[in-house]
Amino acid sequence: MGNASSQQATTTVEFKRNESNGPVTVSMTPNMLRSLRGLAPEASVKGKQSLDDVVRAKVDRELELQKQRKLNYEKMNAEILLRDADDLLRRQKIAPLPAVKDEIIVKEKALVACYKSNSNRSLDCWKEVEDLKAAVLKAQRDFFVNASA
């Protein structure tokens, strides 16, 4: 008990024995007497502060560990995500962009010419619009059929 017991006041209790050696002196601290009575020991102000400091230090240390674990977990997840993305990009078969077919270019020029000649009546160019839409749809279908094969 060293320092703590030397700082506290002690109570001296004498016990008489039947032997001829005389009375036995026992010194007890107030906390020892309280514990013998079944009461909780009184914590000194200094003890409370040091206990608070110890608890605070443990909590701070645990929070720091939790932060570190979270950072490690996020770093690991980011590395896995990057590796998976790289694998997907490597395995991806990149299809070359198809060249615009001559048929679409011709139909587009016909539509532009129609709009220029009928600037006040653009609805008269419905046939050219439908022809261009059909040519684009055919080119899209051909692209997807070739890409999936």
Residues 6+ apart with CB under 8 A from 58: none
What secondary structure letter does DSSP report for 95?
Answer: P
pLDDT of 71 strictly over 60: yes
24-28 and 11-15 strand pairing: antiparallel
149 compared with 60, residue with greater pLDDT: 60
pLDDT of 21 strictly over 70: no
Q: Give the model's pLDDT for residue 103.
A: 92
Q: Give the model's pLDDT for residue 2.
A: 42
| CA dist list (Å): 35 to 15, 47, 89, 101 | 19, 17, 72, 98
Number of separate helices (H) and strands (E) present in the chain: 5, 2
Q: Give the model's pLDDT for residue 20.
A: 63
Alpha carbon distance 14, 3 (integer Å) = 24
User: What tokens appear for 6 in the block?
Assistant: 């030397």
| pLDDT band per the 50, 70, 90 thresholds, residue 100 | confident
Q: Give the model's pLDDT for residue 90.
A: 83
